[in-house]
Amino acid sequence: MIDIVRYTPDRAEEWDAFVRHSKNATFLFYRGYMDYHADRFADYSLMFYDKGRLCALLPANRKGDVLQSHAGLTYGGLLMDAKTTAAATVTLFAELNDYLRSQGFRRVLYKCIPWIYHQMAAEEDLYAICRTSDARLQERDLGTCIIQRTAIRWERVRRRALKRAQEAGLTVERSTDYAGFWQVLNDNLRTKYDSKPVHTLDEILLLASRFPDNIVLYLAKQGGEILAGMVIYVSAQVVRAQYSSATPLGKQLGAIDILYDRIICHDYIDWPYFEFGTSAEPDSNAILEPLVFQKEGFGGRGIVFDRYEWDL
C-alpha cells in the first residue's frame, strides 16, 4: 500500500531533494519556482511513500472538485525516480484515485511531461492512467523541437535573415536587463495579440534571481539599442525559448535569427534538444501557421504537449 501525503511547506527540502534526482523532473518543479504564484493557485501537490520511502511526487492544484497537475506550469505529471516500475505506477494511480474520491474530487486534469525532458525512459504514467482511469486525451498542443544530433539545415529565408543581421552589425550578449527586454515584449504582444506575458517583470526577475543558471536572457543590439531579446529555460536535456520578441526594426534586420544562431549553434550546441515552445492562438488550440513556419525554418519539427482527463 502506498501512503499519500499532501505537500506542506515544511516538506520543501524533501520535495526538492527528490526533484534533484528524479528521472523526468526539471527545475520548474522546485518549490522555489512553483511557489512564486502560490497566491493564484490552491496548491494540492501530493507525495507518495512506499514503505516509508518517498517514491513519487505529483505537482498539482485544486480548482473546485477538479485536481489539476499543475495549472501554473507549462508541463507536469508524475515525477518518478529510476526505481519506479510500471507495476508500481499502476498501483499508485489506482490508490491515487481512491484517495482523491475520499477528498471530494470528481475529475482529474493531467499534463504530461514531453519525452524530450526525460533523462531516462519515463512514460509509465501514460500507461497507468489509461489502465486504471480510462483517461482520455483532452487537449494536444503543437510544439516545435530541434534534435541536435539530426539537426536540419536552416531554410534559405532564415539564412538570409541571419546574414542581414550580421551585415547590419548586430551584436548578441547575455544580459540581466530584463526591464529593457520586457518593454519590447510587452509592446509586441499588445500590438500583435492584445495580450501580455505570462510572467510580470517582477516575477521573471524573482525567478531569474533564484535560478540564474536555468533562466538566461540574451539580447540583440545595434549601437546599444535593444532590437530583440530571448529568455531561455535551460534544463538537463532541453533548452527552451520561453520568450522571444523583436522591435519592428529588429524584425527587419533579422535580430531573432542572430539570437537563435548564437544560442542553438554556439552556446548550447551540446544540449540534446532545443525547444521553441508551442504555437497556438491565444485561448484556442488552432496553430499560428506563420509562427510554426518560422520555427520550422530553423530546422524545428513537431512535438506534442498532451493533457488528459478522467472522471472519478
Q: Write out the E strands in 26-148.
A: 42-43, 46-50, 53-58, 60-63, 66-69, 79-80, 107-111, 136-147
3-state secondary structure of 75: coil
The tens digit of pLDDT for each residue in 229-283 reads: 999 999 999 999 999 999 999 999 999 999 999 999 999 999 999 999 998 776 6
Q: Are 136 and 144 in contact (CB under 8 A)?
A: no
310, pLDDT greater than 90 = yes
How far is CA 277 from its chain centroid?
Answer: 8
Q: State residue 246's pLDDT score.
A: 97
The set of residues, in sequence order, having a beta carbon less than 8 Å from that of 159 and lying 6+ positions away, is: none
Bridge partner residues of 239 (DSSP): 234, 274
C-alpha radius of gyration, the chain, whole number: 21
Q: State residue 282's pLDDT score.
A: 61
The residue count of the chain comes to 312
Q: State residue 68's pLDDT score.
A: 97
C-alpha cell at 18: 527528490
When pLDDT is cut at 50, 70 and 90, the band that residue 191 belongs to is confident
176, pLDDT greater than 70 = yes
Q: Are 67 and 102 in contact (CB under 8 A)?
A: no
Cα separation of 117 and 237, whole Å?
A: 6
Segment 57-79 mean pLDDT: 96
307, pLDDT greater than 80 = yes
Cα separation of 294 and 174, whole Å?
A: 23
Bridge partner residues of 79 (DSSP): 57
Segment 208-233 mean pLDDT: 97
Q: Are 57 and 10 in contact (CB under 8 A)?
A: no
Cα separation of 294 and 219, whole Å?
A: 19
What domains appear along the chain, each with residue ranges and CATH number? 2-134 (3.40.630.30), 145-305 (3.40.630.30)
Helix 201-210 vs helix 178-193: crossing angle, to nearest 10: 140
When pLDDT is cut at 50, 70 and 90, the band that residue 27 belongs to is very high
Q: Are 230 and 43 in contact (CB under 8 A)?
A: no
Segment 176-189 mean pLDDT: 94
- Mean pLDDT across the chain: 95
> What is the DSSP pairing of strand 66-69 with strand 107-111?
parallel
Cα separation of 44 and 58, whole Å?
A: 9
Q: Are 165 and 177 in contact (CB under 8 A)?
A: no
